[in-house]
Structure 1
Amino acid sequence: MLRDISPQSIFMGLLAGFVGSASSFAVVLQGLTGVGASPEQAASGLMALSISMGLCAIVLSLKTRLPISIAWSTPGAALLATSGAIEGGFAVAVGAFIVCAILIIISGVWKPLGRAVAGIPAPLANAMLAGVLLGLCLAPVKAVAFDPLLGLPIVIAWIVMGRFNRLLAIPAALLAFVAVMVFGIEFPENALADLGGAIAPPVEFVMPEFTLAGLVGIALPLFIVTMASQNIPGTAVLRANDYDTPPGPLFTVTGIFSLLSAPFGGHAVNLAAITAALCAGKDAHPDPAKRYWAAISGGVFYIVFGLLAGLVTAFISLAPGILIEAVAGLALIGAFAGSAVAAFKDEDGREAAAVTFIVTAAGLTFYGISGAFWGLLAGGLIYFLTHLRNGKKKPD
């Protein structure tokens, strides 16, 4: 096993870990605070997710000898960011995280549930995701309007680096965010001392509460977007690189690690897609049988990042919230474009997708249940009626 280690796989794994964390941790923080987490609880959630996905990647990769890359649910975090605080506070959100984790576990061991998620019409699933992402994708524009001297450097860094290397565009925007903070923001007198006190890993246990609004408004949409936008594409990436492994056990293990992180504020971990391509491709190692060390080294990076989550969160809290929202929004533009194109390319499902997108993007909450659920419900009704009408029009 140790003789399979190579500098190439270690480097590619560390790159995947850096890209995976730097490109979307801002989205995770926005999501957790969006459903009522305090700064301490958000830092704990970021830590729990990072350590869980690092350990999960290491365990799965060592067990299977395959490059199984794990990530947090970025679309799920975006969903939380647009859901708004739920009645009952963050404890209800944590209860929903636990339910979502249990559903992921069940989808791995009980095939009908996995098939049911895969059977959701693709236009509706993509339209719901696009509606969820829209609000955050507007944040870069709002940041420039808030203060051009602070917002423009972040956007320009993303644009310039993106023309050369798309994977490094968000890390470049993040570095620009740090530069803006250092040179453009006046810190309080005790800021550095506060940062020093945040070095210790943040651990905040949250006693979960379970409500119907949490189940329908958070748990079910979170489960759907995590499965449809992360777990299922993650298995496709593995298959594309000639790693044919049953997805059920992988789903189950990610669900178990999601369940372990949930009481500490983590919303969900899942199979990675983009970073999975880095670890499973030829750049990780010429020999496919030795690429699993790339996923292992990426997992180690996530664990180290998680231990520093308190420091990262404390530093970010010193900046105006719209700036970190801008970084999060830039990280999601590609996902928004992809989901929007996929949602509206099918003419038969276009009207239903439009309804799903509009209702979800409106962000309205009814009976304590977030707009993502109502968007999927409204779009599903239109989709059913459209296909019922088209079915009647068909000649016998």
Structure 2
Amino acid sequence: MEQRDRGFPDQDGVAGPDTEIRPVQLVSAGVVAALVGFASSSVVVLAGLRAVGADPRQAASGLFALAVTQALGTLWLSRRHRMPIMLAWSTPGAALLASTGPVKGGWPAAIGAFLLVGALMLLTALWPRLGALIAAIPAPIAQAMLAGVLLSLCLAPVHGLVDHPALVAPAVVVWLVLLRLAPRFAVPAAFATAVAAIGIWLVWHGGLDGPLLPRVVLTAPTLTWTAVLSLAVPLYVVTMASQNVPGVAVLSSYGYTVPWRESMTVTGVGTVLGAPAGGHAINLAAITAALVASPDAHPDPRRRWIVAQLAAWTYLVLALASMVLVTATTAAPAGVTTAVAGLALVGTLASALTSALTDPDDRQAAVLAFVVAASGITVGGIGAAFWALAAGLLVRTVLRRGPDVRPPRP
């Protein structure tokens, strides 16, 4: 009975708590989950932070802050609830930053937007109606906006192959081969290949020159209306719709009941604390959650939280590599890093497009939202993501037909 009360899945047909599993298997599962999460999207995070005005040190500080806050949040939630609850940085949110670019007020205004996102997450925990309001945004519109945001980044590998074939082609080949053989590791392996190619390029061009140790760089926030509408609102919507909701769904698919209010509180506090150092948002994980919550991580569902703990400790170690990664990617030719980031987002783009076009009744509104987001327009200092949501919702309202006028299906 205690197992059900704490949100654990049933044990029917699953190995019991006394099932033998070697410690090295637990450590391996946790380390792999963290490496997959870090390698799959750290370059996306760096691209997003640099796009909204961070210099290399500030971007490294942001990546460090995200890795630390999500690790600490994971340690707290997974141990407190004895469930494999993983937190992650908002990868779609980072892609949104990369497509939006600088806003009025520069990097301090972006920091203010990050703080506001954290405050909105805390408000979501305290006031369920706000979460319901976000859930009321039609999924096709939200996913179409995300797809439009991702498009420009997903074009980067194409340009990279033309501009720097020697550096980008090996990563693309590895990514393509592993998509067929081991899809889970396609992006991390492509990332490792790109890092190796950049390393060889640096050896031929004078070696690595720059700081290597991480350092927290704090920035005093400011808040402008353009940053609120261009960054904060779309970032909150994307993080909730594309990360927190799927994160709950993934854990539910393995039989775990996520403590929603406490999860929103922890991610909100983590985002607020990490924002001055450059962290844009943390949230419930989906992909890495699947890695630690599946039977592959541990045969006993009641012990999988240990894997999440080990993954969190691995993230704390990987945080120390933030400055090295920034220094290496900054020294590489322009376009190489964004090409790898684009590879990391191809799967997310495919998923977003599929979700956006599933419902025939919302298809036109979703396509318009996608086109507006992909256009990269700025009107009144407000970026395309906000206008994409507004346009999609407007068209959906105009075209939506009540049941009394809907033509009969053939």
Q: Please report the TM-score for the alignment, with normalisation by the length of structure 1.
A: 0.95
Inter-partner Cα distance in structure 1 for 2:213 and 2:343: 30
1:48 pairs with one of 65, 68, 87 = 65
2:95 matches 1:78: yes
Match of 1:264 in 2: 277
Match of 1:217 in 2: 230
Q: 1:3-58: per-residue Cα shift (whole Å, max 9, x none)?
A: 99943332211111000000000000000001011111000000000111111111
2:190 pairs with one of 173, 182, 191 = 173
Inter-partner Cα distance in structure 1 for 2:247 and 2:406: 38
2:245 matches 1:232: yes
Match of 1:153 in 2: 170
Match of 1:24 in 2: 41
Inter-partner Cα distance in structure 2 for 1:129 and 1:326: 18
Inter-partner Cα distance in structure 2 for 1:367 and 1:391: 38
Shift of residue 216 of structure 1?
0.8
2:364 matches 1:351: yes
Match of 1:61 in 2: 78
2:145 matches 1:128: yes
Match of 1:279 in 2: 292
Equivalent runs, 1:247-258 vs 2, <5 Å: 247-258=260-271
Inter-partner Cα distance in structure 2 for 1:293 and 1:5: 13
Alpha-carbon contact 2:329-2:337 (below 8 Å) kept: yes
Alignment partner of 2:216: what SS? coil
Shift of residue 224 of structure 1?
0.3
* Counterpart residue type for residue 35 of structure 2: F
Q: 1:266-298: per-residue Cα shift (whole Å, max 9, x none)?
A: 000000001100101111111111100111111
Inter-partner Cα distance in structure 1 for 2:89 and 2:27: 21
Shift of residue 147 of structure 1?
2.4
Distance 1:311 1:185, change over 3 A: closer
Match of 1:298 in 2: 311
Shift of residue 185 of structure 1?
4.9
Alpha-carbon contact 2:175-2:190 (below 8 Å) kept: yes
Inter-partner Cα distance in structure 1 for 2:23 and 2:149: 40
Match of 1:315 in 2: 328
Distance 1:5 1:244, change over 3 A: farther
* Counterpart residue type for residue 75 of structure 1: P
Alpha-carbon contact 1:127-1:354 (below 8 Å) kept: yes
* Counterpart residue type for residue 393 of structure 1: V
Inter-partner Cα distance in structure 2 for 1:353 and 1:271: 26
Percent sequence identity over aligned pairs: 45
Alpha-carbon contact 1:137-1:332 (below 8 Å) kept: yes
Inter-partner Cα distance in structure 1 for 2:271 and 2:22: 28
Inter-partner Cα distance in structure 2 for 1:250 and 1:49: 16
Q: Please report the TM-score for the alignment, with normalisation by the length of structure 2.
A: 0.92
Match of 1:119 in 2: 136
Q: 1:121-179: per-residue Cα shift (whole Å, max 9, x none)?
A: 01101100100100000000000111222221121111112211111111221122123
RMSD over aligned Cα, in angstroms? 1.8
* Counterpart residue type for residue 159 of structure 2: K
2:108 matches 1:96: no
Alpha-carbon contact 1:201-1:308 (below 8 Å) kept: yes
Match of 1:241 in 2: 254
